[in-house]
Each structure stands twice: as C-alpha cells, then as structure tokens.
Amino acid sequence: MLAILHPNTDENSDDYRTTFQFLEELQDIQLQTHVVQGEQQKLTEIYLVGDTKKLNIEDIASLPAVEKVIRISHEFRILGKHAPESPSLDFEYNGVRFNQDSFHLFAGLCAVDRKGNVEGMMKCLQQFGQQCTRMGAYKPRTNPYSFQGHGLDCLPYVFELAGKYGIRVIAMEVTHEKHLEEIDQTLEHCGRPTGVMLQVGTRNIQNFELLKNLGRQQDYPVLLKRGFGISLTESLNAAEYLASEGNTRVIFCLRGMKTSFNTPHRNMVDFAHVPVIKRMTRMPVCIDPSHSVGTRALSSDGIPDIFHATAQGLVAGANMVLVDFHPNPAEALVDGPQALTLDELPLFLEDVELIRETYLKRQQNFKAVPKFHA
C-alpha cells in the first residue's frame, strides 16, 4: 500500500507527525519513506510493507497529511506506476534534470583509450552545445584477454577535460563497489569539475550486491541497462533493488536482446518497449542504439542502421540516448565498428531533433482526442 502525502508536506509539521505516528503503530507493517524532489514541488511517499489487506484504506486516507492512498497492484513497489496519474521520477543532477518528459543525448567513447581522443570527443560535444557524454573507464568483457579499460588511471584526465569543455554528466559503467570509491575520490581530488551517472551494464543486471551498494548511496544517479538474456520483469526488479535501498534516481536503459533472430544486428532491437516501461514504471527510459545494432552499416535508403534504430526509440518517447562516437573508430580499443565519427555528429543531432519534435507533435495530437486522453 502506498500513502501519498500532500505536496510539500513539512516533516516537522503537526500533520506529518500525527500521520506518521498512526502508521508506525500499525501491527505487522513496516514503513519505507521516499521523497521525490521535483522541479516545482516535493512529494513524500510512504510505503506500507506487510499484510496490508487487513488495513482500511479509508482510515489511512483520512489522516491529515495524506492526499491519497493506492493499493499497489504489482511488484514494483517504489518505481512502479500504480495509477495513471502517478508522477514521473523527477530529479536534477549537477544542473541537468531527468524525468519522463526530458531528453538528453549522451554521445561519447564506449571505452576510454587515450587522452587525445577523450579531448577530441569533448571538444566536439561543446562545439554543438552538448553537456552530457559517455566514457567507459571500466569495461567488463566476455573474453578475459580483451581490453578491460584503463580504470582509475584515466579518471583524473577524463574528469578534468569534462570540466574544461563544460560536460556536466558522464555516464560511466562500474562493475564493483570499489569503482564507486575511486570515482568519488577522484572527483573530490579534481574539485568536482563534472558529475558521474553510474552505469550498471547488462552483465551485472542481477549482481544484487552491487545493486544494493549503488542503492545505498544517493550522491550519484544510476543508469541501469536491461539484461540481454532475462525478461523485462526481471530487469525491472533489478531497478527496484536500487530503489529499495534508498536511491530512486534511476534511469532504465534498453540495449537490445540476445536472441537467435538478431542477425545481422548485434542484438534484437527492443525499443518498442519504451512506452511499456513508461507505462509500468515512473523511470525515465534510455536507449542504446550502438549496442543494439552493433554496426555502422547503411540501409538501402542511405541512412545508417544506428540512425534508424535511434529514431525508433525516440518516436516512441525515449528520454535519453546513449550512443558511441569516436574521433577515429579504427583505433578504438572497444566496439570500433559500431562507433559513429565526429563529422557525423551534426547530422545525428539534426536527426535526433527532427524525431524528437515528431514525437512531441504526436503526443499533442493524441492529447487532443478525448478517448486517448481520458
């Protein structure tokens, strides 16, 4: 059961104390409080965990601080959208706002290889007004002999260059809790010139101890990639692990599914699930066309497959795109064949803007029809 308090309820107010005291005295019920700080208001949600069937919903709804009560109908207690009007997760990190209506592009290096390529990438992003990027310092690989990333050694120059070129948020994969410590300590040592969104890759989607550790910290938001070989429900439960430990600043990323039908692409593109996730949960949704498609191949219409896949996700309402670029893909140490080049960035941005505008126009068209807006 979920009790949603009136917006901007003060935790020191008499109404809040009266409400919380009543809920604390309920037998066999545990309380989990989560505060969602939106752009214009703060929303406090109290989750009642336990045998809630015996509770009278009217008694709880009548408490002074409570605006409404919802019986939770599925297992995603914290991140789930339990009613059509349930608000999106809405958070700001290092001056960048994320929710189910926002949009941000994270173009960058799948793996950091050398300082010159990092600087070339970030300089190009600044030139086109971009404030976010992806930079892989820690790279889990299928083959133990493959390049595993420069790790801690590259963090100082990555963060310093990000500050130099106005990059506010870097999506960076972590595979172990020590990586979080290394990122945090290096950012502090550099004077925090940028911010980091911690990325959990598809191989770690069910590394539950890692998820718990990332959930217990609330300094950094988390980008969680769908597991390539498990169900959508299982992947969404992984996101719930993060939230249940206290971190609700979570973005869910679709990156393709490993099947026997994906050839000639690297994975089966699953971007039709963008609206499904936005309906089932309150998380912003990201797409990764690079790891879904895995090739720079052109379609017969002259448009690269990665552009087409990006458009599929954007026209369905994706809030973020994570995409590989590289100054010289031939020298990339990881996934060079799927990386776009810097001279393709302007066209990619133009195409993204065109498709995003199309989605917003579609959204307005459907809102104007009563049966779709009910």
d(CA 367, CA 304): 32
Whether 28 and 133 share a structural domain: no
283-308: per-residue pLDDT in tens? Answer: 999 999 999 999 999 999 999 999 99
Query: For residue 323, which of 98, 141, 105 has the smallest C-alpha distance?
Result: 105
Task: Say whether 241 sits in a helix, a strand or coil.
Answer: helix
By residue range, what is the domain housing residue 369? 103-373
Q: Nearest 5°: phi and psi at 23?
A: -70, -35
Domain match, 111 and 66 both = no
Please identify, among 27, 46, 70, the residue that sits at the C-terminal boundary of a domain: 70
Of the candidates 293, 298, 248, 250, the one whose C-alpha atom is nearest the C-alpha of residue 271 is 293
Count of other CB atoms within 10 angstroms of residue 155: 24
Give the Cα separation of 124 and 200 in Å (integer): 26
- Between strands 320-326 and 285-287, the pairing is parallel
* Residue 81 in domain: no
Structural element, H or E, at residue 29 = strand 29-37
Is residue 332 situated within a structural domain?
A: yes
Compute the distance between CA of residue 306 and CA of residue 267 in angstroms, rounded to an integer.
12
The reply to whether 144 and 205 lie within a common domain is yes
Task: Based on the fold, state whether residues 14 and 115 are members of the same structural domain.
Answer: no
Whether residues 143 and 209 fall in one domain: yes
Which of 47, 70, 93 lies at the terminal end of a domain, its last residue? 70
Same domain, 26 and 135: no
Same domain membership, residue 31 and residue 179: no
Residue partners of 66: CB distance under 8 A and separation at least 6: 3, 4, 5, 6, 19, 60
Question: Is the residue at 96 inside a domain?
Answer: no
Which of 296, 289, 294 lies closest to 312 in space, CA to CA?
Answer: 289
b/e map 309-339, b = 16+ CB within 10 Å: bbbbbbebbbbbbbbbbbbebeebbbbbebb
Last-in-domain residue among 52, 70, 88: 70
Residuewise pLDDT in 10s, the chain (374 residues): 888 899 999 999 999 999 999 999 998 898 988 887 777 788 888 988 888 888 889 999 999 999 988 887 667 888 988 877 778 899 999 999 999 999 999 999 999 999 999 999 999 999 999 999 999 999 888 888 889 899 999 999 999 999 999 999 999 999 999 999 999 999 999 999 999 999 999 999 999 999 999 999 999 999 999 999 899 999 999 999 999 899 999 999 999 998 888 888 988 899 999 999 999 999 999 999 999 999 999 999 999 999 999 999 999 999 999 999 999 999 999 988 999 999 999 999 999 999 999 999 999 999 888 877 65
Which pair of structure tokens corresponds to residue 186?
């290096």
Is residue 79, in this structure, part of any structural domain at all? no
Q: Would you say residue 210 lies in a domain?
A: yes
- Count of structural domains within the chain: 2
What CATH code is carried by the domain that includes residue 120? 3.20.20.70
| Residue pair 2/70 in contact by the 8 Å Cβ criterion | yes
Q: Which CATH number do you get for residue 27?
A: 3.30.70.1140
Q: Which two tokens stand for residue 19?
A: 């409400």
Decide if 83 is inside a domain. Answer: no
* Same-domain status, 125 and 261: yes
- What gap in Å lies between CA 134 and CA 115, rounded to an integer? 14
- DSSP structural state of residue 251: E
Indicate if 287 and 352 belong to the same structural domain. Answer: yes
pTM comes to: 0.88
Is 139 in the same domain as 44?
Answer: no
Same domain flag for 27 and 128: no
* 129 and 194 both lie in a single domain: yes
